[in-house]
Amino acid sequence: MQYNAKAPFIVETHWQIEEVLDGDSIIISNRFSQLQKEIRLYGLDAPEVKLNRKMIEDEEKSHLPAQLLLQFGLQSLHFVLSVAPPKTTVTIITEQDNYYDYWNRQLGYVILPNGECLNDLLLINGYAKATHQYYCGRLAEYQAMNRQAQLDGVGLYSSVEKF
């Protein structure tokens, strides 16, 4: 993974996944202090797993029915659970100048024990789409990953052209 060398990063180790909320949010806990926090993955958006305000917005933007979007949300959730189940040890990398989202959740790149980035895996495998709403220094790279997943028809893109 290439990071923008100009941007200062905060690297946090000794965390583990406690709960996967959906395809783009997890709850982690520190393995020593048991402190918990929610991490919102940078640069991407996965479909929702329950009916809420955002689901209605997504339905209007995508022109796909909420029931289908919910199925996609569950597929995205299951993908995350397959590569990063609870108790997985992770490292969180956060851009210092872009630390929290609008809802005051910490943003992060989630690095798995094998060195892979969960954010990248979701995009490459077509279970999330790149978005500027959760901006990150890697947005252009994420948009390219997203486009390639669309062209390859992988993940959710095996069923639809966009979501």
| C-alpha–C-alpha distance, residues 10 and 115, integer Å | 17
Question: In this structure, what CATH number is given to the domain that contains residue 85?
Answer: 2.40.50.90
* 88 occurs within a structural domain: yes
* 160 occurs within a structural domain: no
Low-confidence residues of the chain: pLDDT under 70: 1-7
* 139 occurs within a structural domain: yes
* 120 occurs within a structural domain: yes
Tokens of 93: 């990398």
Tokens of 58: 């997504």
Identify the pLDDT of residue 120: 98
Identify the pLDDT of residue 51: 86
* 163 occurs within a structural domain: no
| C-alpha–C-alpha distance, residues 59 and 114, integer Å | 36
* 1 occurs within a structural domain: no
* 132 occurs within a structural domain: yes
Closest CA to 111 of 127, 99, 93, 98: 93
Whole-prediction pTM value? Answer: 0.93
Exposure on the CB side of residue 61, measured as CA atoms within 13 A: 10
* 2 occurs within a structural domain: no
Residue 18 lies in domain: 9-155
Q: Tally the domains of the chain.
A: 1
